Structures are given as structure tokens and as C-alpha cells.
Structure 1
Amino acid sequence: MPFAVYVLAVAVCCLNTTEIMVAGLLQGIAGDLGVSVAAVGYLVSVYAVGMVVGGPLLTIGLSRTAQKRALLWLLAVFVVGQTIGALASAYWVLVVARVLTALAASAFFGVSAAVCIRLVGAERRGRAMSALYGGIMVAQVVGLPAATFIEQRLDWRASFWAVDLLALGCVAAVALKVPAGGDPDTLDLRTELRDFRNWRLWGAYSTSALAIGAVVAAFTYLSLILTDAAHFTPSTVPVLFAVYGAATVVGNTVVGRFADRRTRPILFGGLAAVTLVLAAFALSVAHQAPVVVCTVLLGLIGLPLNPALAARVMSVSNEGALVNTVNGSAINIGVMLGPWLGGMGISAGLGLAAPLWIGAVMAVCALATLLPDLRARSEEEPAPERDGKAVRA
């Protein structure tokens, strides 16, 4: 991989850390700004909505801007938003900051994916997406714990400032290490918009939303499941989270190696495995040993499907920034939908196994979205020839 791909992966790690860090700063922000913990939790939803709605619009607005310049502008907007958040003296100011950073992050993911493909070529796009989305995995393993540690030693604003400084470093790194190219005349917005009439592309987006939503539905309530259902001590939970995070890094690396050549087998096998793991998790939720095994397996095969999901989106459409940004929006729809459905299951009195069963159902639905695409591909394959003539069943 070109070094610039890893530079962009670090930037993605920085941006994704901002998205998830609020989960570790709930009480600090709530106490400082005088709002409820639930209100602070809504900041996660605000961020997701900003990515779903605003990212594609901002990407369209930057369609006439060279890719490298677009990356620098987006990082600049992110730095402004993060600075506003660090200085926020009222809850509504923090909401504005979250919207700004979400807009920049969503568009940055799409443009950076297009840059990576330009640098490595279509034949290695799966590996490039694995490296790029590796930043998301590192944010979970390193970013969130680091932000929580800083908040515990100083305050939540220090965590915001730390990410802000990292973002400034990313601005310098992108300016120095990402090659120019992808000028406005090479960005065919009309072609990208025309591809949105392709039903297979929307099928791929549905797969992305349901697959990631299935995993997040379970992961959102994993802490409660570990302590209240499996009866682990609270001190053990961070260790299991770290193990889960390490498993996602390993899985992401493995999937990235094969995502280009084996995209659909990986998705079929991976989603079938996610379904079985979540069902087994739900059936054994009160037993510690199976819970540990299922946690590790979910880390290995859940979120690491991201590179294959991205490769499938690009294989049925194009490799432009807008297509990739909308894929990020689809994923964030899943991020919002999974926990909401899981919470409804718990509220309905179905127990802590409910999010796991709901995740399993979502994974089955994701599998179903692959079937029409598989049929379309089989119809496109040429019939075998016999004596110079095509033979058809």
C-alpha cells in the first residue's frame, strides 16, 4: 500500500474517535454542562444523522474541487468543529460542533476512499479499503480508551483537545504525503448520479446497513450483557472489550487480503457466520465461557466485513467519492437502527438476549439482500460452449 493510504487511515481513526468518544465521556459532559446523561447520549445520534444526511450533500458541493484540496478543506472544517466542541459552554453549542464534525467526517470517508482507489487501482481496492477502515478499528481499540483515560485524569475537554491536535497533525500529513490528482475534470458527478438508478447499488447499500446494524445492535449492549447476564465483574469488561477490539483488527486484516477476489463468498460466509454466532450468543448468554468465545468470534467476523462491503458497492457501481460517501451513510443508518431495535426488545421485557436475536435477524436480512445480486451475476456469465455453440440450460 502507498504510504498515503496509511496517512488517510490515521485521519479516519481521528475522525471516528470523535464519533465514538462521547460514550466514554458521558458523565463528565453531563456534569459540566448541567444536562442528563441521556441528553449527552443523544450526541451520538446527532453525529450519525449528520453523517447520513450532510455527508453526501457536502460531497456534491465539493465535486468541482480537486481531491487533495477537498481532503484538506474537510479536515479544516473538522478542526473548527472539534475546537468549538472543546470550548462549548452550553449543550446546544456542543450539538452544533457535533454536526460540523459529522459533516466533515462523512464526506472525508468518501473522498479518501476515492483517493485510495486512485492510488492503488481497482484490482487492490479491497486491500486499500481494509487499510483505510483499519482506522475505524484502531479508533475502537485505542481512540476510545485513550479519550476515556484522558477524561478521567483531566476532563472531557482535554479529550476533545487531544483529538483536535491529532487532526491538525493529519492536516499536515495529508498536505505533505497525499499526492495531488483527481482534479475536478476527472470527477464525473453526472456519471456517479446516474449510477444511483442501479438497483444493485441500492441492494449493496442495504447489505451494508443491515450487516453493520446487526453487529452494532449486539455490541451496543455488550457491557450490560457481560455484567448483568453473564455476571462478569465490571473490572473484566474493559479486558473483554480490548480482546474484542483486537479481534476486529485481526479480522479486518484477513478480510482485506481476500476482499477483492472473494467479495461475495466472504459476504455470504461472513453474514452466515454472524447469524450463527449471534444466535449462539443469545442461547448461551448466561454462561461465561461461551460468551467469551462468541465475543471474540463477533469481533473477528462482524465489523471486519467492512472492506468486502465497500468492495461490493464499488463493483456494482463506480469508485467515486459520492458512491462511497452514501455507503458510509447507509452504514450509519444501520448504526442507528440496530441499537434502537435492540433497545426496543429490552424495553419490551424480552431480556438482554433480545439485541442478540435482533442482530441475528438483521444478519439474515442482509444475507437476503445478496440473493438478487447473485442471480444478476449468474445471468451475466456466458454459457459454456460445445462445438463452438453456446449451450444454455
Structure 2
Amino acid sequence: MPVNVYLLALSVFALTTSEFMIAGMMPSLAHALDVPIASVGYLISFYAAGMVVGGPVLMLCLLNVPRKRALLALLAVYTLGQSIAAAAMAYEIMVIGRILSGVAASGCFGLALALCAQMVPANKIARSAAIVISGLMFATVLGVPAATALEQLFGWRFVFWLVAALTAASGVVLALSLPNSQVEARTSVSAELASLRNASLWAAYATSALIIGATFAAFSYFAPILMNISGYHASTVPLLLMLYGASTVVGNFIVGRLADRHTMRVLFWGQVILTGALVAFAVFGQMHVVALGALILIGLTGVSLNPAMVTRVIRSANARPLVNTVHASVINIGLFAGSALGGLGMSLDLGMRAPLWVGAGLAVVGVASVVPVMLRSSADASRVKVTGALQSENV
């Protein structure tokens, strides 16, 4: 695997750490910016909104810019946004920095996946995507906890500046190591948007949103569920969440190995396992061993199905940055929709297990979304076998 694929993973690690590290420093930010805790939570939402809305628009503006140059420009914009947030003395300035960072991050994800797809053979796209996406997994396991620890030692501004420096450093290294790229073919906004008018592509997008929605409907409320339903002590919860994060890393690489040759089977069976784990957690979550097993299985599937999702999207349309950027936006929509629906279930007094049932419901719909494709693929394979047999008899 080209070393540049790992360097792209490093940039994704920095971007994702920045997106979620707010959660570990809410009290400090609320005090420094003189705002309620809830307002600090919105900083994650502003970042995500920048990814969902601004990312695709920005990619349309960069259509005819070589991919390397576009990626380096976006990393520079991201570093600027992160620096604005690090220096912010008022909440409004912090919001500007977060939105700017989110817009740039979405384009970076799309370009990173497009670049890794063109650097490897077609039969290794899922493996290369798994490595790039592992930056996201490692950010959850290592980046966010490390950011929280450093914030307690040196303050939140130090962490923001550190992530800005890490992003800038990855940009410098990529500028030196990535081969110069040319625009593959001049295109227009209308032509690029036409590539999105593809039913198979939007079916793939829908499955991705359902998988991420199902996962985050549960994951967003793991801490209270593990304490109040499973009976784990509060001091144990961070270790359990780290175990979940480690499971996503392992699952990501397993899926990356399998997804090139068995994309739809991986998506189907991965969601079946995800559904079973969520249902088991909801029904038997009061048992420590069941809760622990379900936690690991959700980590091994769920978010870890990303390489298979990316491979399906690319095969449904193309590996252009806009297709991948819209995919990142759809995934973020699924993330926040799942989290919101899980919270809605709890707010309607449906109990602490409600997020798990919401996740299971979304996962069932996700399984149903790939069944027609599985059946169509089986029918096509059967027709090929019959045609081959008939041709052999005629010969």
C-alpha cells in the first residue's frame, strides 16, 4: 500500500479529533467563552453543518482544480479555521472557526478518498479506504481521549493550536510526497451534478445513512445505558468506550480486507449482526456479559462498515471528490438523525433502552435496503451460469 495512503489517514485523524474533542472540554469552553454548556455542544453541530452543507458546495467550486492542489488548499483553510477557534475570545468567533473547519473537512474527506482510489488498483480500493478511514477510528480511540487529557494539563487553547499544527504538518508532508496530479477531464457543475442523478448511488447513500444512524442512536447514549441499565460503575465506562473504539479499529480493517470482493455480502451480514447486537443489548442489557458482547459487536460492525459503504458508492457512480463529499454529508446527516431519534425516544419517557430499540429499527431498515441488490446480484449470477452452460452445450 502506498505510504501516501497512510499520510492521508493522518490528516483524517487530525480532522476527526478536532470535530469531536469539544465533548471532552465542555466545562472549560463554557467558562472561557461565558456561555452555557448547551451552547458549547452546538459547536459540534456547527462543525457538522459546515460539513453537510458547505462541503459539497466547495467541491463544486474546485471541480477543475487538480486534486493534490485542492486538498492542500483545503488543509490550509482548515488550519486557518482551527487557528481562529484557538484564538477566539468570544463565542461568535469560535462559531466562525468551527463552521470554516467543517466546510474544509468535508472536502478533505472527499478528496482523500478520491486520491487513495486513484493510487491503488481497483481490487484494493476498499483496503486503501479502510486505511484512510482508520484515521477516524484512531481519532475516537486515541485522539479525543488524548485531547481531553492535554486540555486538563495545558488548557483548551493549547489543544486547538496543537491540532492546527498537526493539520498544517500533514499538509506540508503531503505537499512533498503526493505526486502532482492533473485535472482528469474538464467538467462543468451541471455535468458533475448529473453524476448524482443515479438511483443506485442514492440507494447506496441511504444504506450508509441508515447504518451510521443505527450506530449513533445507540452510541450517543452508551454511557448512561451502561451505568443505569447494565449496572457498570462510572469509572468503568471510559474503559468500555475505549474497548468499543478498539473494536471499530479491528472491524474497519477486517471489512477493508473483505469489501473489495464481497461488498454487498459484507453490508448485509454486517447489518444483520448489528441488528442482533442492538436487540440483545436492549433485551438483556442488564447482564454484564451481554452488554459487553453487544458493545464489541456494535464496534466490529456499525461504523466499521465504512470501507464497504465507500466501495459501493464508488462502484455505483465514480470516485470523483463530489460523490465522496456528498457521501460524507449523508453520513453526517445519518449520525445526527440517529442521535436525535435516540434522544427523542428517551424524552418521550420510553425508557433508557429506547435508543437501542431506535438503533435496531434503523438497522432493520438498513438490512432491507440491501436485500433487493443482493437478490438482483444472485439472479444475474444465475443467468450468467445458465448462459455459460447453454453455450457449452452448443459447442
TM (normalized to structure 1)?
0.96
Question: Is contact 1:282–1:357 with CA below 8 Å preserved after alignment?
Answer: yes
Q: Within 2, Cα distance between the matches of 1:34 and 1:390?
A: 81
Kept after mapping to 2: 8 A contact 1:137/1:248: yes
Q: 1:156 Cα shift?
A: 1.3
- Distance (whole Å) between structure 2 residues aligned to residue 337 and residue 111 of structure 1: 25
Cross-structure match for 1:388: 391
1:45-68 Cα shifts (integer Å, max 9, x gaps): 111111111111111111111111
Distance 1:375 1:307 in 2: 22
Look up the SS of the partner of 1:230 in the other structure.
coil
Alignment of 1:100-119 (within 5 A): 100-119=100-119
> Could you tell me how far 1:190 is from its partner in structure 2?
5.7
The one-character-per-residue Cα deviations of 1:191-226 (angstroms, maximum 9, x if unpaired) are 543221111110000001110111011111111111
Distance in 1 (alpha carbons) for counterparts of 2:184 and 2:28: 44
Write the distance in 2 (CA, Å) between the matches of 1:118 and 1:167. Answer: 23
- Cα drift, residue 334 of structure 1: 0.6
Deviation at 1:186, TM superposition (A): 6.4
How is 1:39-58 mapped onto 2 (pairs within 5 angstroms)?
Answer: 39-58=39-58
Tell me how far apart the structure 2 counterparts of residues 197 and 363 of structure 1 sit (CA, whole Å): 26
- Partner of 2:225, secondary structure, is helix
Whether the 8 Å CA contact 1:4–1:179 is kept in 2: the answer is: no
The alignment of Structure 1 onto Structure 2 pairs a total of residues equal to: 391
In structure 1, the partner of 2:246 is: 246
Query: Aligned residue for 1:149?
Result: 149
Gaps spanning 5+ residues in structure 1: where? none
Taking the aligned partners of 2:70 and 2:112, their CA distance within structure 1 comes to: 9
Amino acid in the other structure paired with 1:11: S
Conserved 8 A contact 2:268-2:371: no
- CA–CA distance in structure 2, aligned partners of residues 219 and 17 of structure 1: 17
What do you get for the CA RMSD once the two structures are aligned?
A: 1.8
> 2-side partners of 1:389 and 1:52: how far apart?
53
Task: Give 3-state SS (helix, strand or coil) of 1:244's partner.
Answer: helix
Change (3 A) 1:373 1:195: farther
Q: Does 1:311 align with 2:311?
A: yes
1:295 and 2:295 equivalent? yes
Q: Is the 8 A contact 1:17 1:143 kept in 2?
A: yes
Q: Which residue of 1 aligns with 2:165?
A: 165
8 Å contact from structure 2 (residues 64, 186) kept in 1: no
**For 1:57-93, what per-residue CA distance to the aligned partner results, in whole angstroms no more than 9, with x for missing partners?**
1111111111110111000000000000001111111
User: 2:226 is matched with which residue?
Assistant: 226
Pairing 1:69-218 to 2, within 5 Å after superposition: 69-183=69-183, 185=185, 192-218=192-218
Q: Which residue of 1 aligns with 2:346?
A: 346
- The SS at the match of 1:224 is helix
Cα offset for 1:374?
3.2
Cα distance in 2 between the residues matched to 1:276 and 1:123: 30
Give the 3-state SS of the residue equivalent to 2:349 in structure 1: coil
Who is 1:264 aligned against?
264
Contact 1:14 1:139 in 2 (8 A): yes
In 1: Cα distance, 2:313 partner to 2:138 partner: 23
CA distance in 2 between partners of 1:379 and 1:289 (Å): 41
Shift of residue 134, structure 1, vs aligned partner: 0.5
Do 1:203 and 1:369's aligned partners in 2 also have CA atoms closer than 8 Å? Answer: yes
- Contact 1:25–1:151 (8 Å) recurs in 2: yes
The answer to whether the 8 A contact 1:346-1:355 is kept is yes
- In the aligned structure 1, how far is the partner of 2:266 from the partner of 2:10? 26
Aligned equivalents of 2:133 and 2:188: distance in 1?
25
Q: Which amino acid aligns with 2:62?
A: L
The residue identity in structure 2 corresponding to 1:282 is A
Gapped runs of 5+ residues in structure 2? none
1:73-121 alpha-carbon deviations (Å, 9 max, x no partner): 0000000000000011111111111110001100011011111011003
Letter paired with 2:132: L
**How far 1:301 sits from its partner (Å)?**
1.3
- Give me the whole-angstrom Cα distance separating, in 2, the residues matched to 1:390 and 1:46: 64
Secondary structure of 1:319's aligned partner: coil
Compared CA separation, residues 387 and 295, structure 1 to 2 (3 A): closer
Query: What corresponds to 1:14 in structure 2?
Result: 14
Q: 1:12 & 1:103 partners in 2: Cα distance?
A: 14
- In the superposition, the TM-score normalised over structure 2's length comes to 0.95
3-state secondary structure, aligned to 1:388: helix
Alpha carbons 1:63, 1:184 under 8 Å: kept: no
CA–CA distance in structure 1, aligned partners of residues 188 and 246 of structure 2: 39
